[in-house]
């Protein structure tokens, strides 16, 4: 599958998603980058901005199974992974899959679950399998997690540990629509919700070919050095207590390849890396206490880093 075919495929998915999520093209492009990279997405946003509809729309667009898990403090790991039940007829234990077994999984308000339940999701995200009663079960090849958390309401929550945050390829915000886009939203739902008319535009097999093909997108040595310089700068910044890990470098590398295909190119440019740097790195860094007191934003620091690092003239 060449780049032009991937570009056509992603454009079809993008157009489909925009029928439901209006006026948020930049955020939707980041979601498609995550999809092509087989990377999980953390969506940090206020309620009612379309997080659930986004995940549902994506599942419909790729003809995949959608599953929603509402995380609560009393949820058990087995509520996520599934359980083994004894089958009287066959006289053996059989695995009954939990809601995690789907192509697109929405982990709603993930920070409301206890660390033990969060850890059950951690294995699924990293190993793409779940273990129940000592037996491992593979998850679908196109498995992707959309995890949401409310950035305002923290009462009764369990903040995600850095190890789990690092498992997400990128953090995306949808945000409020502007005036005209909100008018379009009201009009589009006058009779019925647009998602009810949504149809699949591809299938899982075609998506898997695209996910494999982006690995062939060319990344020049100058671009690789640029990626490492950006990540190293997060480790040496006075306002950052903990910088991005090598997984952050790999995330930038893969996301850059996927973003390049969205632009119809088979090679990565510095602008591609710039375009994905904040979504890929913002959740991987921990601010110094003095920076938090001054209310310095992670996105602001990363934007300053990108301005300070010399951009390679030729890739």
Query: Which CATH number characterizes residue 60's domain?
Result: 3.40.50.300
43 in any annotated domain: yes
Q: What is the number of structural domains in the chain?
A: 2
Domain finish residue from 172, 199, 216? 216
On whether residue 309 sits in a domain, the answer given is yes
Q: What angle do CA 273, 278, 284 make, to 5 degrees?
A: 115
Per-chain mean pLDDT for the chain: 90
| CA distances, 59 to each of 173, 218, 262 (Å) | 19, 29, 19
pLDDT confidence band for 27 (50 / 70 / 90): very high
- 113-168 pLDDT per residue, tens: 888 888 888 888 888 988 888 888 899 988 999 998 877 666 667 777 787 888 89
Q: Give the tens place of pLDDT for each residue, 208-217.
A: 999 999 999 9
* Residue 314 predicted with pLDDT over 70: no
**Over 80: is that where the pLDDT of 203 sits?**
yes
Domain with 59, as residue range(s), is: 1-74+104-110+142-216
pLDDT of residue 162: 80
Contact in structure between 290 and 279 (CB atoms under 8 Å)? no
d(CA 123, CA 79): 14
Burial of 46 (0-12, 13-18, 19+ CB in 10 A): middle
Looking at residue 294, which CATH number applies to its domain?
1.10.8.80
Q: How far apart are CA 257 and CA 215, in angstroms?
A: 7
Distance CA 108, CA 111 (A): 9
Q: What is the pLDDT of residues 40-97, one digit of tens each?
A: 999 988 888 888 999 999 999 999 999 999 998 888 889 999 888 878 877 788 888 9
Same domain, 30 and 172: yes
- Residue 315, pLDDT > 60, answer no
């Amino acid at each position: 599958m060449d780049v032009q075919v991937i570009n056509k495929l992603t454009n079809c998915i993008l157009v489909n998603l925009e029928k439901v999520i209006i006026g948020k093209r930049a955020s939707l492009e980041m979601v498609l980058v995550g999809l092509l990279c087989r990377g999980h997405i953390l969506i940090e946003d206020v309620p009612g901005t379309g997080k659930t509809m986004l995940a549902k729309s994506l599942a419909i667009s790729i003809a995949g199974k959608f599953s929603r898990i509402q995380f609560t403090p009393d949820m058990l790991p087995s509520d996520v992974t599934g359980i083994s039940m004894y089958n009287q007829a066959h006289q053996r234990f059989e695995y009954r899959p939990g809601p995690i077994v789907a192509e697109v999984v929405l982990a709603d308000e993930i920070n409301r679950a206890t660390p033990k339940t969060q850890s059950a999701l951690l294995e699924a995200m990293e190993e793409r399998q779940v273990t129940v009663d000592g037996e491992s079960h593979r998850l679908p090849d196109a498995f992707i997690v959309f995890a949401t958390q409310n950035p305002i309401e923290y009462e009764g929550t369990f903040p995600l540990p850095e190890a789990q945050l690092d498992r997400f390829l990128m953090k995306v915000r949808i945000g409020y629509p502007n005036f005209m886009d909100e008018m379009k939203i009201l009009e589009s739902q006058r009779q019925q919700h647009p998602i009810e008319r949504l149809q699949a535009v591809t299938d899982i097999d075609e998506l898997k070919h695209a996910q494999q093909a982006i690995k062939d997108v060319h990344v020049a040595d100058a671009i690789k050095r640029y990626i490492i310089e950006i990540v190293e700068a997060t480790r040496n910044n006075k306002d950052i207590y903990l910088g991005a890990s090598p997984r952050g470098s790999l995330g930038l590398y893969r996301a850059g390849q996927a973003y390049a295909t969205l632009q119809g190119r088979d090679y990565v440019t510095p602008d591609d890396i710039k375009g994905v740097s904040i979504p890929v790195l913002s959740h991987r860094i921990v601010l110094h206490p003095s920076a938090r007191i001054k209310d310095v934003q992670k996105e602001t620091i990363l934007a300053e880093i990108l301005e300070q690092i010399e951009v390679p003239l030729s890739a």
